[in-house]
């Protein structure tokens, strides 16, 4: 079976890695959908789709998670929620099951007769993009919350400075 895992990955963190590892145990291949690919340079979405793509691919390689068929697909915002699933079906390879804990995603997928499975969270209070962005902005420890390559990418490309500047403009 081929699974789909949509998310913003702002940034990719160890909770995402845990979910990806779990999904790959149950499926032959995985489509990682980078949601809101056309939004960047905001506090909620500071990273570009290209930056997120590079971090995801590098993390998968570094963690040895490329033994199965994995596609990483950036997807722009679809404002009409009902059309979102149809857009995924057109833009992505065929998939059988969606992994998400987002209630709207569950409703939309089930409405389109697509199976939805929840994702087990690990330490959700720490492993979420909003918490990591806040920690970056406030100079609090965050390195242990993301894969090493993600941390290095953010620091080496001065994305931490971007997040700090955007923090004052947060939505």
List the 115-117 sheet strands across, edge first: 69-74, 29-34, 2-7, 97-99, 115-117
Query: Is the whole model's pTM more than 0.85, yes or no?
Result: yes
pLDDT tens track for 6-20: 999 999 999 999 999
* Axis crossing angle, helix 129-137 with helix 159-167, rounded to the nearest 10: 90
| Residue-by-residue DSSP string for 66-81 | -SSEEEEEE----SSH
Owner of token pair 């009902």: 82
pLDDT above 90 as % of the chain: 85
The confidence score (pLDDT) of residue 2 equals 96
Q: What pLDDT, on a 0 to 100 scale, did the predictor assign at position 169?
A: 67
pLDDT one-digit tens code per residue, 63-101: 888 767 899 999 998 989 989 999 999 999 999 999 999
CATH 3.20.20.70 fits 2-167, yes or no: no
**Domain spans in the chain, listed from the N-terminal domain onward:** 2-167
Element (H, E) at 125: none
Per-residue pLDDT tens for 107-140?
999 999 999 999 887 877 789 999 999 999 999 9
């Amino acid at each position: 079976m081929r699974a789909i895992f949509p998310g913003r990955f702002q940034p990719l963190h160890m909770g995402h890695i845990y979910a990806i590892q779990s999904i790959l145990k149950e499926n032959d291949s995985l489509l990682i959908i980078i949601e809101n690919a056309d939004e960047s340079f905001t506090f909620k979405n500071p990273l570009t789709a290209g930056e997120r793509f590079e971090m995801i691919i590098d993390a998968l390689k570094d963690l040895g998670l490329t033994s199965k068929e994995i596609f990483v697909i950036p997807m722009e915002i679809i404002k009409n929620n009902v059309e979102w699933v149809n857009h995924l079906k057109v833009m992505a390879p065929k998939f059988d099951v969606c992994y998400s804990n987002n209630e709207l995603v569950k409703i939309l997928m089930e409405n389109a007769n697509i199976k939805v499975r929840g994702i087990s969270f690990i330490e959700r209070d720490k492993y979420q993009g909003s918490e990591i962005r806040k920690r970056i902005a406030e100079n609090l420890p965050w390195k242990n919350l993301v894969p090493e390559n993600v941390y290095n990418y953010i620091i080496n490309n001065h994305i931490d400075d971007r997040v700090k500047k955007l923090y004052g403009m947060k939505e």
